[in-house]
Amino acid sequence: FHDRWGLPSSLEDVADLCAMTGQAERAARFYGAAEALRENIVAILRGLFGPGIAILPEAGREPAVAAAG
Protein backbone atom coordinates (compact mmCIF):
# COMPACT_ATOMS: atom_id res chain seq x y z
CA PHE A 1 0.00 0.00 0.00
CA HIS A 2 2.99 2.30 -0.23
CA ASP A 3 2.34 2.93 -3.92
CA ARG A 4 -0.81 5.02 -3.71
CA TRP A 5 -1.01 5.61 -7.46
CA GLY A 6 -0.57 1.92 -8.14
CA LEU A 7 -3.63 0.86 -6.17
CA PRO A 8 -6.18 2.59 -8.44
CA SER A 9 -4.47 1.01 -11.45
CA SER A 10 -4.70 -2.40 -9.79
CA LEU A 11 -8.40 -1.85 -9.12
CA GLU A 12 -8.86 -1.01 -12.80
CA ASP A 13 -7.05 -4.23 -13.75
CA VAL A 14 -9.52 -6.20 -11.63
CA ALA A 15 -12.38 -4.24 -13.22
CA ASP A 16 -11.08 -5.15 -16.67
CA LEU A 17 -11.06 -8.83 -15.72
CA CYS A 18 -14.60 -8.57 -14.40
CA ALA A 19 -15.74 -6.88 -17.59
CA MET A 20 -14.08 -9.55 -19.74
CA THR A 21 -15.89 -12.29 -17.84
CA GLY A 22 -19.32 -10.69 -18.16
CA GLN A 23 -19.49 -9.21 -14.66
CA ALA A 24 -20.39 -5.68 -15.72
CA GLU A 25 -21.88 -4.56 -12.39
CA ARG A 26 -18.83 -5.72 -10.44
CA ALA A 27 -16.55 -4.08 -13.01
CA ALA A 28 -18.40 -0.79 -12.60
CA ARG A 29 -17.87 -0.93 -8.83
CA PHE A 30 -14.14 -1.47 -9.24
CA TYR A 31 -13.86 1.35 -11.80
CA GLY A 32 -15.77 3.62 -9.43
CA ALA A 33 -13.52 2.69 -6.52
CA ALA A 34 -10.42 3.45 -8.57
CA GLU A 35 -11.76 6.86 -9.56
CA ALA A 36 -12.77 7.72 -5.99
CA LEU A 37 -9.35 6.73 -4.70
CA ARG A 38 -7.62 8.90 -7.31
CA GLU A 39 -9.82 11.84 -6.39
CA ASN A 40 -8.95 11.32 -2.72
CA ILE A 41 -5.24 11.24 -3.48
CA VAL A 42 -5.50 14.42 -5.55
CA ALA A 43 -7.37 16.14 -2.70
CA ILE A 44 -4.59 15.17 -0.30
CA LEU A 45 -1.93 16.52 -2.68
CA ARG A 46 -3.84 19.77 -3.11
CA GLY A 47 -4.07 20.04 0.68
CA LEU A 48 -0.31 19.63 0.94
CA PHE A 49 0.71 21.90 -1.93
CA GLY A 50 -2.23 24.32 -2.10
CA PRO A 51 -5.09 24.77 -4.53
CA GLY A 52 -2.91 26.55 -7.10
CA ILE A 53 -1.22 23.41 -8.36
CA ALA A 54 -1.91 21.25 -11.35
CA ILE A 55 -1.70 17.50 -10.83
CA LEU A 56 -0.93 15.67 -14.04
CA PRO A 57 -1.14 11.91 -13.52
CA GLU A 58 0.58 9.73 -16.05
CA ALA A 59 -0.85 6.32 -16.78
CA GLY A 60 0.11 4.12 -13.85
CA ARG A 61 2.77 6.50 -12.55
CA GLU A 62 3.08 9.04 -9.79
CA PRO A 63 1.65 12.41 -10.67
CA ALA A 64 3.70 15.39 -11.66
CA VAL A 65 2.93 18.37 -9.46
CA ALA A 66 3.40 21.78 -11.06
CA ALA A 67 2.38 25.34 -10.32
CA ALA A 68 -0.78 26.20 -12.22
CA GLY A 69 -0.45 29.26 -14.38
Work out the pLDDT band at 1, boundaries 50, 70, 90. very low
pLDDT of 48 reads 84
Taking only the tens place, the pLDDT of each residue in 11-21 is 999 999 999 99
Q: What angle do CA 33, 54, 43 make, to 5 degrees?
A: 40
Global pTM value:
0.69
CA separation for the pair 31, 9 (Å, rounded): 9
